[in-house]
Amino acid sequence: MKKSKLVIGISSRALFDLDESHKIFERDGVDAYREYQILNEEKILNPGNAFGLVKKILEINNLYKSKDRVEVILLSRNSADTGLRVFNSIEAHSLDISRAVFCGGESPHKYVKDFNIDLFLSSSNEDVRMAIESNVASATIISGKSNFKQDSHLLKIAFDGDAVIFSDESEKIYHEKGISAFIKNETKGEKISLEPGPMKPFLMELNRLQREFTLDECPIRTALVTARSAPTHKRVIKTLREWGVRIDESLFLGGMSKEDFLKSFQADIFFDDQLKNIQDASGKITSAHVPYGVKNEVK
């Protein structure tokens, strides 16, 4: 039976602003980094790019008697010694995070399956790629303007379609043969469901949680924000219907820039496989790159 808990794994650099100490690590090495963190371990870290998202996710527990429907776990490359500042900051910001892994410079991706993590967010593209290879929904938080603003308790999550929710099978055709071949393939195969992409399991788990509430009371709202347009929208709609997945809002933009639409949706996070789209959006909302598919093949 499927566990009745949504579990998010997050790195310390995605949760808090560790840019200053990371520069010390890159410039002066691990010993200087350790000394700096110990010297400043009572100095509380400022929120990072995913802080607002994590805070809203944890607040969902307030809607349950058990207070255990959602969990956030810290997965860090820090050692426990240097990670003490992170835990001090978690406590100071009143975040209900009690489980953590400190890997002493190694990648924590190997523990994502042990914790049954549904989504892994990190500032390390390498860690994210390895987690995706382990079939765990994962994305790289891109540095940008912090989205920490608690004007609404509604958690809003936006997804791109191809190579994110769905596989990159259709994107490959577009990439290799152009738009005409892409449209022809999608209209011809509109009754054939798209194969799942790396974010499908996380979307399914979100849906499971959403169905525990009425539409008016649901604390989560999702959006599909895709470059597709008519007539290629049909295959997407029919695939989601076949999966039994509810998407609250669907934006078929036909190649238009996504950033203004994401701002209007007030997304707490946006997932896309194309780095340019993420970089464009990161100035306005928290954005996460999904390094998967033909656009992200390592050359």
Residues noted as catalytic: 160
Cis peptide before 198 (omega within 30 of 0): no
43 burial via Cβ count (<10 Å: 0-12, 13-18, 19+): exposed
DSSP state of 166: B
C-beta separation of 290 from 164 below 8 A? yes
C-beta separation of 156 from 223 below 8 A? yes
The Cα–Cα gap between 41 and 130 comes to 30
DSSP state of 229: -
List, in sequence order, the alpha helices (H) in the chain. Answer: 12-15, 19-28, 30-39, 51-59, 80-92, 125-133, 169-177, 179-188, 200-210, 233-243, 259-265, 275-281
The Cα–Cα gap between 55 and 15 comes to 10
In 10 A of CB 299, how many CB atoms?
2
The Cα–Cα gap between 141 and 258 comes to 17
Maximum alpha-carbon separation in the chain? 63
Spatial neighbors of 83 by CB under 8 A, at least 6 apart, are: 12, 74, 76, 100, 102
DSSP per position, 30-89: HHHHHHHHHHTTTSPPPB-TTHHHHHHHHHGGGGSSSS-SEEEEEEESS-HHHHHHHHHH
